[in-house]
């Protein structure tokens, strides 16, 4: 057990997060301290930090990082930066500095490895070049469909294998929630910029149910789907049919996600998916024949028993299939997943292999003409690494950018949806969450409706 006495702090949260990158939760303590004489406290594996009594959090974190690096023999590539949104501080600097100046500042401030600071610079360059503008006076909508045909080994989302009658009951409540929130939005003249239907797997619903859902959204929010960005996740190819994709496309939806995670059949079986790589290829063919303009594909670096060759083969096929957006995720082993139950420390393994996979993806996607356009990180990711969305120029998802920059209200609808209200005058957000269990969502539906008023209070 390591004990780190940190001088002149009252809140240990940021230092805990940094220490967790190096050590398991039961392997250390962060102890706030005030004073100079600590000799009586220091024993074996006890350390005193910030003897200079600095009040600069980043300076203290740099000292802690260097100490932990020496103790553990590793230098995590993101340095002292532990937040979910590593682009936010970089973009804030771009209002006063050039992108190249910003890159040097963040590299030095956070002890960031040069390849990560250059990645941030590339993403900032792309977003600035697109002149996305301030959309704080608009809102986006997230709608959650918490059903999947099977549950993946790594999944911790609000997704369930459920009978058709549960789909019907859930959809009835969801349609009412959409109508109720639509009334509030029209009353307050809320303009909708983008809509994202995720889950779970929305295409577990029937074609008629999907049509009804999209019609209700369009009518309730008085929004012509053809004039805004709308994405529907068709992530599991075993749920894709011609009828479903036609129903989605008929209402003006221009984007879908088909998420293989891997194109290796043995891996798909291992992680609990009931489809093959050929099903993924078929899903792409159907989507192209139906006329979708943008298809996103997700791949995961670090899946069990995969090496660099397996990963690069999957990515090569996604590029060949012509996906306009490709999101490279680092495996995150979260509480609630079966993988976490089977091997709680899995995310602390194979960091070098997964880092190599991300390096491979950056080279391959750059060579194929893709640009990195958004980034985020999660807890318990292998190697404390990152997720990066890549796009062919001009095909980026505005929803993905907005949700990561935290400067727009996101209206969350359905079980597991977490909405956010943005207050531009204070540059802050307040979260408004629905319950994650779809049965409890239905049982407490009146409460879910009451929460919608918080968007305008």
How many separate domains does the chain show?
Answer: 2
Beta strands in 94-227 (DSSP E): 138-145, 191-199
Note whether 273 and 410 are same-domain residues.
Answer: yes
Left if phi > 0, otherwise alpha if psi is -120 to 50, otherwise beta: which for 57? Answer: alpha
Cβ atoms of 302 and 263 within 8 Å: the answer is no
- The answer to whether residue 162 scores a pLDDT higher than 90 is no
**Considering only 32-46, 192-206, 368-382, which range has the smallest mean pLDDT?**
32-46
Q: What is the mean pLDDT of the chain?
A: 93
Note whether 11 and 151 are same-domain residues.
Answer: no
In this predicted structure, what is the pLDDT of residue 157?
60
Q: Tell me the longest C-alpha to C-alpha distance in the chain.
A: 74
- The answer to whether residue 153 scores a pLDDT higher than 70 is no
d(CA 359, CA 366): 11
pLDDT band with cut points at 50, 70 and 90 for residue 235 = confident
pLDDT in tens, 186-198: 999 999 999 999 9
Domain boundary among 24, 42, 75: 75
C-alpha torsion 364→365→366→369, nearest 10 = 120
Give CA separation, 278 vs 153, 236, 262, 313, 392, in Å.
Answer: 21, 12, 12, 14, 24
Note whether 186 and 37 are same-domain residues.
Answer: no
Domain boundary among 75, 107, 126: 75
d(CA 316, CA 297): 12
d(CA 118, CA 134): 25
Note whether 337 and 426 are same-domain residues.
Answer: yes
- The answer to whether residue 22 scores a pLDDT higher than 80 is yes
In this predicted structure, what is the pLDDT of residue 117?
98
Q: Is 290 part of a structural domain of the chain?
A: yes
pLDDT in tens, 327-339: 999 998 766 566 6
Q: Is 457 part of a structural domain of the chain?
A: no
Note whether 32 and 159 are same-domain residues.
Answer: no
Cβ atoms of 200 and 238 within 8 Å: the answer is no
pTM, entire model = 0.93
Note whether 147 and 70 are same-domain residues.
Answer: no
pLDDT in tens, 279-323: 999 999 999 999 999 999 999 999 999 999 999 999 999 999 999
pLDDT band with cut points at 50, 70 and 90 for residue 150 = confident
Note whether 411 and 266 are same-domain residues.
Answer: yes
- The answer to whether residue 343 scores a pLDDT higher than 70 is no
CB-based burial of residue 425 (10 Å sphere; 0-12 exposed, 13-18 middle, 19+ buried)? Answer: exposed
Stretch 396-409: mean pLDDT:
96
**Considering only 315-319, 343-347, 378-382, which range has the smallest mean pLDDT?**
343-347
**Contacts with 446 (C-beta within 8 Å, 6 or more apart), sequence order:** none
In this predicted structure, what is the pLDDT of residue 367?
98
CATH of the domain at 346: 3.80.30.20
Domain boundary among 33, 53, 75: 75
Count Cα neighbours of 239 within 13 Å in the Cβ-side half-sphere. Answer: 25
For residue 172, give the 3-state DSSP assignment: helix
Note whether 438 and 289 are same-domain residues.
Answer: yes
Q: Is 128 part of a structural domain of the chain?
A: no
pLDDT in tens, 28-81: 999 998 876 676 778 889 999 998 999 999 999 999 999 999 999 999 999 999
pLDDT band with cut points at 50, 70 and 90 for residue 341 = low
Note whether 150 and 28 are same-domain residues.
Answer: no
pLDDT band with cut points at 50, 70 and 90 for residue 121 = very high
Q: Is 424 part of a structural domain of the chain?
A: yes
Note whether 146 and 254 are same-domain residues.
Answer: yes
- CA 362 from chain centre, in angstroms, equals 18
Note whether 318 and 186 are same-domain residues.
Answer: yes
Candidates 358, 378, 292, 400; CA nearest to 113 is: 358
d(CA 411, CA 177): 11
Note whether 203 and 285 are same-domain residues.
Answer: yes
d(CA 202, CA 199): 6
Q: What is the domain extent for residue 191?
A: 138-443
Q: Is 121 part of a structural domain of the chain?
A: no
Q: Which residue has the higher pLDDT, 30 or 349?
A: 30
- The answer to whether residue 26 scores a pLDDT higher than 70 is yes
Other Cβ atoms less than 10 A from the Cβ of 250: the count is 15
- Cα dihedral across residues 328, 331, 335, 341: positive or negative: positive
C-alpha torsion 177→179→184→189, nearest 10 = 130
Give CA separation, 90 vs 111, 184, 409, in Å.
Answer: 14, 35, 21
In this predicted structure, what is the pLDDT of residue 164?
87
Q: Is 330 part of a structural domain of the chain?
A: yes
Q: Is 122 part of a structural domain of the chain?
A: no
In this predicted structure, what is the pLDDT of residue 380?
86
pLDDT band with cut points at 50, 70 and 90 for residue 340 = low
Helix (H) or strand (E) holding 30: strand 28-33
| 205-241 burial: b if 16+ Cβ within 10 Å, else e | bbbebbbebbebbbebbebebeebbbbbbbbbbbbbe
In this predicted structure, what is the pLDDT of residue 159?
63
In this predicted structure, what is the pLDDT of residue 344?
65
How are beta strands 28-33 and 2-7 bridged, if at all? Answer: parallel
Q: Is 66 part of a structural domain of the chain?
A: yes
Kindly report the three-state secondary structure assignment for every residue of 234-291. Answer: CCCHHHCCHHHHHHHHHCCCCEEECCCECCCHHHHHHCCCCCCHHHHHHHHHHHHHHC
């Amino acid at each position: 057990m390591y004990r780190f006495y940190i001088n002149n702090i009252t809140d240990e949260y940021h230092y805990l997060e940094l220490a967790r990158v190096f050590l398991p939760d039961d392997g250390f303590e962060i102890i706030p301290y005030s004073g100079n004489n600590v000799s009586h406290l220091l024993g074996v594996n006890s350390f005193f930090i910030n003897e200079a009594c600095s009040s600069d959090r980043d300076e203290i974190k740099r000292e802690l990082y260097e100490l932990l690096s020496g103790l553990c023999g590793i230098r995590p590539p993101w340095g002292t930066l532990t937040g979910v949104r590593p682009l936010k501080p970089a973009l804030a600097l771009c209002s006063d500095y050039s992108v190249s100046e910003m890159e040097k500042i963040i590299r030095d401030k956070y002890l960031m490895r040069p390849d990560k600071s250059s990645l941030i610079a590339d993403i900032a360059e792309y977003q600035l070049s697109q002149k996305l503008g301030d959309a704080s006076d608009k809102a986006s909508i997230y709608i959650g469909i918490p059903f999947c045909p099977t549950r993946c080994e790594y999944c911790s989302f609000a997704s369930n294998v459920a009978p058709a009658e549960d789909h019907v009951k859930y959809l009835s409540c969801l349609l009412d929630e959409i109508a109720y929130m639509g009334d509030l939005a029209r009353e307050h003249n809320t303009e909708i910029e983008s809509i994202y239907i995720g889950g779970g797997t929305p295409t577990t619903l029937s074609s008629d149910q999907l049509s009804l859902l999209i019609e209700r959204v369009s009518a309730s929010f008085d929004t012509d789907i053809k004039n805004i960005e709308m994405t529907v996740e068709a992530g599991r190819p075993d749920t894709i049919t011609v009828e479903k994709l036609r129903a989605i496309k008929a209402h003006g939806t221009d984007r879908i996600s088909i998420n293989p995670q891997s194109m290796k059949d043995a891996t798909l079986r291992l992680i609990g998916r009931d489809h093959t790589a050929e099903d993924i290829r078929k899903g792409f063919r159907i989507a192209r024949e139906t006329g979708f303009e943008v298809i996103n594909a997700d791949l995961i670096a670090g899946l069990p028993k995969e090496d660099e060759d397996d990963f690069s083969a999957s990515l090569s096929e996604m590029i060949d299939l012509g996906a306009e957006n490709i999101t490279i995720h680092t495996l995150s082993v979260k509480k609630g997943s079966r993988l976490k139950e089977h091997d709680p420390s899995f995310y602390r393994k194979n960091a070098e292999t997964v880092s190599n996979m991300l390096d491979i993806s950056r080279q391959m996607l750059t060579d194929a003409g893709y640009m990195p356009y958004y980034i985020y990180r999660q807890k318990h990711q292998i190697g404390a690494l990152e997720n990066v969305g890549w796009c062919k120029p001009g095909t980026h998802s505005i929803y993905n950018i907005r949700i990561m920059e935290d400067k727009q209200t996101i209206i969350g609808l359905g079980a597991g949806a977490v909405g956010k209200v943005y207050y531009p005058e204070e540059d802050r957000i307040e979260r408004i969450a629905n319950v994650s269990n779809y049965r409890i969502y239905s049982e407490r539906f009146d409460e879910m409706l009451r929460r919608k008023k918080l968007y305008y209070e």
